[in-house]
Structure 1
Amino acid sequence: MTAMFGEAAEALRDDLVAVRRELHRAVETGLDLPETQRIVLRELEGLPLEISTGDSLSSVTAVLRGARPGPVVLVRGDMDGLPIAEATGLPFASTSRAMHACGHDLHMAGVLGAVRLLAARRDELPGTVVFMFQPGEEGQAGGRIMIEEGVLEAAGERPVAAYAIHVDSATPRGQLVTREGAMMASASALRLTVHGTGGHAAFPQHAIDPVPVAAQLILAVQAFAARRLPATDQAVISITRIRGDSEAGNVLSATVRMEANIRTLSMATLDTVREQLPPLLAGIAEANGCRLDAEFIPSYPVTYNDPAETREVLAVLDELVGPERVTRLEAPSMASEDFSYVLQEVPGTLVFVGAAPESGPMPLHSEHAVFDDSVLPLQASVLAELAWRRLARG
């Protein structure tokens, strides 16, 4: 099959770059993104879409019904930025203390391009496409909230497949990257409070000092990951916060609070961590005369690319850009993604596209992150092509 959208996407280049840069300047964080939502709604005006907005978040759902009968597919673009003060020096840089340091401005622009490409061929479109513009990807579980508010039923029937593209400022421009199965890790947290008694720093024998107990717990966390979990399905468990409640240099803390960030590549491994790690730590604390409170906070599930769907996606990508520009990852990333909630419900695929600037690779989530927005026509055309071909398969 000949690629259908490449030339039309190139014709949209200037418009897509312009709206991406407007979104970059107007960055907002979290679930409430009124200005971002306003721009997205403005860009959708006049198109043959059924549009709805979220009740508890600034989401936008747009349904494009093709003139020909067929199934439903979903295309996701996330909307929120990060609470980072931008230091790129770009002429369109954000001047607030928030930044699109993970490329969500490109994600929105790419999906808006796909909307226009598919809407222009609505008379031939063999089915329905749901476009999901989602706030709160950066830790607020906006995808889960949109599912609870009915995004998967927006077209009247559930999608048979779902697709999303994520840009990467550390991957060469235009390189497409994905894999079958686990693509990105789950993310959860374990909050720990170690209760001692506090006391005078000169007389620790008269107190129960939780600080050395906390140190033992940190070591136990690292040993747990290395010795309780299979080497073939490891977890990354990092203590990311630790704080005692003493406000004076000569006072022992009465409590120490810590937080562990937990990343796994299977729900079975996450269940093992959740069930076995808290009681192990509680036992160590008790053996040292302390009491431990542990609170497990689940967040994003494993981002799992359906193998059969992803094989079809890889075949399309090979055809569109050539196999030399398609990377099949050998191992998943330990980062996490809110699109995981959609992929729990609908078979589909998350694809990364390289957007490294000419100056060289840049890390995501950095105040210096720069993305080459010349990849926007590629994003738009790939999303449109994947949606169209999946609909055509029935």
Structure 2
Amino acid sequence: MVISMKGKSKKIIHQMINIRRDLHENPELSGEEYETSKKIQQVLTKYGIPFEAGFAKTGVLGIIKGAKPGKTVALRADIDALPITEQTNLPFSSKMNGKMHACGHDAHTAMLLGAGILLNEVKDSLQGTILLVFQPAEENAPSGGAAKMMEDGVFSTYTPDVIIGQHVWPDLPVGNIGVKPGPIMANSDRFKVVIKGEGGHASMPHQAIDAVIVANQVITSLQTIVSRNVDPVDSAVITIGKIEGGYRYNVIADMVTLEGTVRTFTNETKQLIKEKFYQVVTGIVQSMGAKVEIQYMDGYPATVNTPIWADQIKETATNLFGKNSTPRVEPCMGGEDFGRFLQKYPGVFYWLGTSIGEGQKPLHDPQFMVNEDALPYGIELMAQAAIDILKKLNDKKESVVHE
């Protein structure tokens, strides 16, 4: 029996948009998603979808068991917001000062609920199990919520053979899906460097060790790690995002703090940069007579798609939305906690086009907006992908048995 989700979201889309808007008005930060979790559980209860809760405190696992035993596919959405004050002026803007769904997790949650509702309606025709994973704390890098959910046993009863995640993507128009085999998102590491010099009067620099000058040399030299150590055909980024130091215009600073991030796609490049980072920073600081404390925090691993399942998403999207729906995309240096799931289980992470067109702001911007016309695409693709992948897994199992 062929099960198609094409057009099936029409009967629930208004409700899913309302859910998305309610979540958008009431965002909760990483680790604080208690009301969000309750709302998810209420929807699952309403539609008769069994669930377990409490993973990583606020995470929820919906469980859709098919009529026949078979393989297991997990679908994941993140549910937390960001510490950003919204500036969109939407009628459903955040009611919480300093909190905003500026990364589309409200839409992710609504779409996964929609996909779960559609899948639950056809469960008697399914062979196997589909899991709905609502993950907290995705924005809380470098710890995140994926590892904690797994530590708490989210997959202790049902182990996914494949896991799928999707993310709204403002760089793609509605109806386009961005997916590729291999790395699609980067290793996302963080660092904090505290440079300690000796203060003094601005007119007498010879009596001091200027932490600002030392920091300047460190910042400039760190960029040579990528330009002179990383293979030019590889990709890497070192960014200093925050600098703090100094007291006033006529005082030589005795301390400067630098904070930033390192982004890479391969573990080899990640380790190379980490080693060179320590060498460059300590070498320069010591040569200038200062001292330094370095905190280098390994963050989210690269999000590396299993080729067979990346190809399956392309095939499913093409069947649903047409041959031009999956344009070629390049990987992004952004980090994603979903990479931790992919370290444990085969799977795929893809981007859902959500551009509003002219005036579109990027993810994490106070004026970021999601084109809600994309929600039916996300609901139907996630549901159909679960069905298609489940069928492929079960067909492969049966072919092995009969060989």
Q: TM-score range by the shorter chain?
A: over 0.9
Deviations 1:64-90 (A, max 9, x none): 111111011110011011111111111
- Residues 274/157 of structure 1: CA separation in 2 closer, same or farther (3 Å cut): same
The more displaced of 2-11 and 128-137 is: 2-11
1:289 maps to which residue? 289
Name the SS of the counterpart of 2:327 in structure 1. Answer: strand
**Alpha carbons 2:178, 2:328 under 8 Å: kept:** yes
Shift of 1:375: 1.8
Q: Superposed, which structure 2 residues align to 1:9-20 within 5 Å? A: 9-20=9-20
- Unmatched 5+ stretches in structure 2: 395-403
1:147 maps to which residue? 150
2:222 maps to which residue? 221
Amino acid at match of 2:112: V
1:92 maps to which residue? 92
Deviations 1:245-277 (A, max 9, x none): x32332222111111211111111111111221
- Unmatched 5+ stretches in structure 1: none
1:238 maps to which residue? 239
**Alpha carbons 1:170, 1:362 under 8 Å: kept:** no
Name the SS of the counterpart of 1:375 in structure 2. Answer: helix
The more displaced of 291-300 and 247-256 is: 247-256
1:262, 1:57 → 2: CA distance? 29
Deviations 1:330-379 (A, max 9, x none): x2111111111111111111111111125553322111112111222221
1:335 maps to which residue? 334
The more displaced of 47-56 and 261-270 is: 47-56
Amino acid at match of 1:235: A
Amino acid at match of 2:355: A
Q: Superposed, which structure 2 residues align to 1:123-272 within 5 Å? A: 123-140=124-141, 141-153=144-156, 156-244=157-245, 246-272=246-272
Percentage identity across paired residues of the two chains: 32
Alignment RMSD, CA only?
1.6
Deviations 1:185-228 (A, max 9, x none): 11111211111121222211111112111111011111111101
1:158, 1:319 → 2: CA distance? 28
User: Could you tell me the TM-score, scaled by structure 2's length?
Assistant: 0.93
1:370 maps to which residue? 369
Q: Superposed, which structure 2 residues align to 1:15-164 within 5 Å? A: 15-54=15-54, 56-96=56-96, 97-140=98-141, 141-153=144-156, 156-164=157-165
Name the SS of the counterpart of 1:269 in structure 2. Answer: helix
1:302, 1:202 → 2: CA distance? 48
- Residues 105/369 of structure 1: CA separation in 2 closer, same or farther (3 Å cut): same
**Alpha carbons 1:49, 1:65 under 8 Å: kept:** no
2:197, 2:163 → 1: CA distance? 50
